[in-house]
Amino acid sequence: MVLRPTPPSEPTPPPPTGRVGRAALVLTALALAGCETFSPAQTCDMSPQDNPPVVYTGGAVHDGVYATTPAPHEGSPQTWPWDGPFLLFPGGMQYTIKHNLGATPHWQQVWVSFSQDGAGGGSTIAQASGSEAQVEGVDAETIKIANFSCSQYYVLVIAGAAGTNPPTSPPR
């Protein structure tokens, strides 16, 4: 190994002087201190051990389709289940959802929104993808989902019995 001498570095400029220089130094120090003092470091823990699944027994079945939202009101089945309320779904959250279809769903979909009221709150709704909401398991009693992102969403799970069709998009 050949060691080479390091070139001399530029001299460090002297600290600011005078009233304006000291004020700038103090303001910079306060701004930097505020970043640590008022914005604590956030962590995003995805471990299943620290985020055990929450069992959800709500929702409703309507015409062979289960949704995590309550049953539609009289005269409003065309907007069900898009108007919410959706389930809070922060990063690391896991749900074991009891779907009450009586058999393993023929299909299932997971939708996310930034509003608990979904389309009813004027928010957009999108089909979940990637780590936003992973389907971990589906059987005759439950659907298991997990949010492996560090973002908070509100989630809607829809599942259908044989002979039903999944929606292609929320009604507009």
Q: What does the DSSP assignment read for 75-133?
A: T-TTTTTTT-PPEEE-TT-EEEEE---SS--SEEEEEEESSTTGGGGT--EEE--GGGS
Q: Spell out, as residue ranges, where the chain has pLDDT lower than 70.
A: 1-43, 73-78, 171-172
- Specify the pLDDT at position 42: 53
pLDDT at 149: 92
According to the model, what pLDDT value does residue 133 have? 93
Give the class (CATH, top level) of 54-160: mainly beta
- Of the candidates 160, 162, 158, 161, the one whose C-alpha atom is nearest the C-alpha of residue 170 is 158
Task: List the structure tokens of 66.
Answer: 């289960």
pLDDT at 21: 60
At 9 the pLDDT is: 59
Residue-wise burial string across 28-47, b where 16 or more C-beta atoms lie within 10 A, e elsewhere:
eeeeeeeeeeeeeeeeeebe
* pLDDT on residue 123: 84
Strand partners, 155: 87, 112
Which residue in the block uniquely carries the two structure tokens 């998009």?
Answer: 169
pLDDT score of 153 = 95
